[in-house]
Amino acid sequence: MLDKLSRLNPFRRESKTSSAGYSRAAWKRSFDAARVNRLTADWATGFKSLNNSLHQDLAALRQRSRHLVLNSDYAVKFLAMVKQNVVGADGMRLSVHALQPNGTLDEYDSKICTQGFNNWSKIGNCEVTGTLSFKDVLNLVVTHLARDGEALVYKINGQGDWGFQLQLIDPARLDEKFNLDLQNGNKIRMGVEVNSWGKPVAYHLVDQNINDPVGRGAFGQTNKHVRVPASDMMHLFIAQSAEQLRGYPWMHTAMNRLNMLNGYEEAAVTSARISASAMGVILSPDGDAAALADYDDRVSAPEIVADPGSFPVLPPGYDVKEWMPDTKQANYSDFVRATLRGLASGLNVSYHSLGNDLENVNFSSIRAGTLEEREAWKAIQGWVIEHFCNPVYSDWLKMALLRGRLANLPMSKFEKFNNPVWQPKRWPWVDPLKDIKAQEAAVMMGVKSVSDVIRETGRDPDEVWRELEKDITRLAPILAKLGQGKTAQLEVTNNVDQTN
């Protein structure tokens, strides 16, 4: 028995040749993906950390991503999809749920905090330039996240009427080439200063506005940096690896294919334009161009002008031969569609949305693709709420309470008021009638509440309940009068019937 177990031990040392005569190589096991042969020779096997790759490639990735957003229709479409689906037309709407010790909602305190934040969110209050609302700030944050892979938001206490404002900073100012070991044990890597645990404690920004069109020198030619404590700076990026220090563009896997597609479409359009132009060459009878060369100036030389209804006259013996380039694009549509499917996978969006192609899809495929895409948008919305919206509300609330801007609500009850509930964008149902019946059945079965259904429409349940109460209060007198009139009509009808 022990001998059998020893043969099953994967860590025991084997002899070069087994009892059955098989060599060790015959029993050797390996992963096909790890083998090195003529088909995998160009496949990297060396280790390179993500931070090392970012240190080398981040600047180029960011610049190429920005170039695509300026010049690629599909990159522009993707960025628009991010803003439309993560932020939406109404932005992230806030509803504060300040709870009493018994767990019930304190409607007065909740209303004061909600209205206060909504007032701060208006243009001129929440952002230092006075030109952006909180919804505009959200749109710029998700734009930087998608295009650059990261966003920087500077939190300024004591600024503005509410004592708290935000400043958006171009992430290119966070110098990825700035690396330094400090005497206190901290390290600066790619502009991010971290302690011995890898926790960011400060950010080192280039001391110049790189967006100034008449700024001094080119970006990267200055050795001056501004240190901003991490407590005052929000460095936002969706981490894809442990110990990651910087974010990178969401389009990173699709960028090369996007650029190639742009070149292909440009060449195809240029070729089609050339093929649509009638062109030709003038042939001499003996191949000698001397006759035409005898003309002293280009004005008197014979020239063919492609005007409708015109017939040019050539020198004796000369002829015109039509030249029509072969510009057939038989596979153009198939190639573009196949490329866009790959791009849609890399961008994690549906193909028909990215390519605006509803020609070859049916209702079932649209529904499946749309629902899957919406789950991805919901995940991003949840991340933005957790990492940006909640911290901003918390910092705003502290300053608003300290300045007495919330109807003298006490600072001692900060935790009570610090309970924001955000309602992000939601989408209409793909098949409204079927979906609303499914929602109704889920409520009747007890697997979903009415509040859940309301949230999926993009509304706040408490707001809907309040509106319903107001509507019922307003309609009660009207319904009562209608009821009295109907009762009187029934009595008249009954009296007439009895008389007859």
Question: Residue 128: pLDDT band by 50, 70, 90 thresholds?
Answer: very high
**8 A C-beta contact, residue 172 and residue 62:** yes
pLDDT at position 299 is 52
Q: Please give the model's pTM, rounded to 2 decimal places.
A: 0.77
Measured from the Cβ of residue 442, the count of other Cβ atoms closer than 10 Å reads 14
The number of C-alpha atoms within 13 Å of 105 and in the hemisphere containing its C-beta is: 15
Alpha helices in 90-149 (DSSP H): 107-120, 134-148
* 389: nearest Cα among 124, 169, 141, 157: 141
Q: Does 174 have pLDDT greater than 80?
A: yes
| Mean per-residue pLDDT of the chain | 82
Q: Residue 308 — very low, low, confident or very high, per pLDDT cuts 50/70/90?
A: low
Residue spans of the domains in the chain: they are: 48-279+330-427, 284-322
Least confident of 73-77, 402-406, 444-448, 487-491: 487-491
- Identify whether the C-beta of residue 283 lies closer than 8 Å to the C-beta of residue 320: yes
pLDDT, tens digit (0-9, with 9 covering 90-100), for 196-240: 999 999 999 998 766 666 655 444 455 689 999 999 999 999 999
DSSP, collapsed to helix, strand or coil, labels residue 94 as: strand
- Say which residue, 179 or 327, is predicted with more confidence: 179
- Please state the rounded mean pLDDT for residues 18-36: 63
- Left if phi > 0, otherwise alpha if psi is -120 to 50, otherwise beta: which for 334? alpha
Q: Calculate mean pLDDT across residues 398-421.
A: 94
